[in-house]
Amino acid sequence: MICVISYIACVDEFDSEASTPMIFVYSELELGEGIDVFVSQSSPFLSVSSINTPVEEANVLLNENGASVKLDFDTGSNCFIDLAYEITEGNTYGIDVTIPQSATPDVQSFVTVPFFRSPVIEAQFISINSQDDMLISDIQMTVPGDLAPYHELEITAHILKEVILSDGSSTFVRDDSATRFRISTDDTSVKNLVHRPSALYELPSMEDGNIINLRLEAKVELSTNDRIDSISVISRTVTEEYYSYHSTLSNQIELEVSGAGEPVLNYSNIMNGIGLFGARSSRKRNIVVQ
């Protein structure tokens, strides 16, 4: 698992008159992925690039059921990790971060890993149309009876590109850079659909077995004989903390790009600090393209 360190929008959380630096923490707990925690230290006078400089000399403890595990810093990922640790759905985990010999206050947070209760795509095959360098398709998801409120959906296409060999013949090679679809819907049951670039959305209430219709679009340049052999679908049930952090971050990025609108206060669930300690449960499947 690769630790994410690009969440720099926490700069808007700073109090310009504060004199004590703050600890920024980012971690997503997920089944089968072990643990990684990114830690940095901020101050009102640091540049944005400095905010993402990892703090290696921190004490990071993960707590579960009264037991604590100390995480070790990994220079390859710039995170504190324990990739052998097994995360369990429904369990509550706490985190404590201390920077020795620093005036920065210690930070804490906790999160309960959600059970997977998200809509799923049940189709075995999907048809994708290519129009003006755009891949376009419709697809449906079925709602479970024990629906959770917060979700994330990631759909990517795997392309086979034609390669001409030295003898004039050709072969097809799978392009490892999967093309991510932008997801949209006219279904009024889907609330606050945002992209980060995966699609985050909220489903306050729906009946068991209801169908959600989605529209997929992706910008891609295909040669005449290039083709798509499958798409991968990752559906996630996420915590409210995860949803709130990423949705406000996406709103902040959109405002910065457009240069208009009121600033968005970025969400944080790190006590005495800033950032995210979130969790999610995922299901992944591949669908053949007709």
Q: Do 210 and 189 meet the contact criterion of CB atoms below 8 Å apart?
A: yes
Report yes or no: 14 and 46 within 8 Å, Cβ to Cβ.
no
* pLDDT at 163 (0 to 100): 86
Are 159 and 222 in contact, with CB atoms under 8 Å apart? Answer: yes
Q: What is the spatial distance between Cα 162 and Cα 227, in angstroms, rounded to a whole number?
A: 8
- What pLDDT, on a 0 to 100 scale, did the predictor assign at position 1? 55
How high is the pLDDT of residue 50? 43
Average pLDDT, consecutive stretches of 10 residues, N- to C-terminus, the chain (290 residues): 46 46 92 92 50 85 94 95 95 95 89 96 89 88 94 92 86 83 94 89 88 92 82 95 89 63 75 95 92
**Domains of the chain in sequence order:** 16-113 (2.60.40.10), 125-237 (no CATH)
- pTM value is 0.84
- Report the 10 Å Cβ neighbour count for 131: 8
Residue that has been written with the tokens 């629906």 in this structure:
147
pLDDT of residue 14: 39
Task: Give pLDDT, residue 8.
Answer: 41
pLDDT for res 197:
82
Per-residue model confidence (pLDDT) at position 47: 37
Written as six digits, the tokens of 247 are: 């949705």
User: What is residue 199's predicted lDDT score, i.e. its pLDDT?
Assistant: 94
- Predicted confidence at residue 264, as pLDDT, reads 57
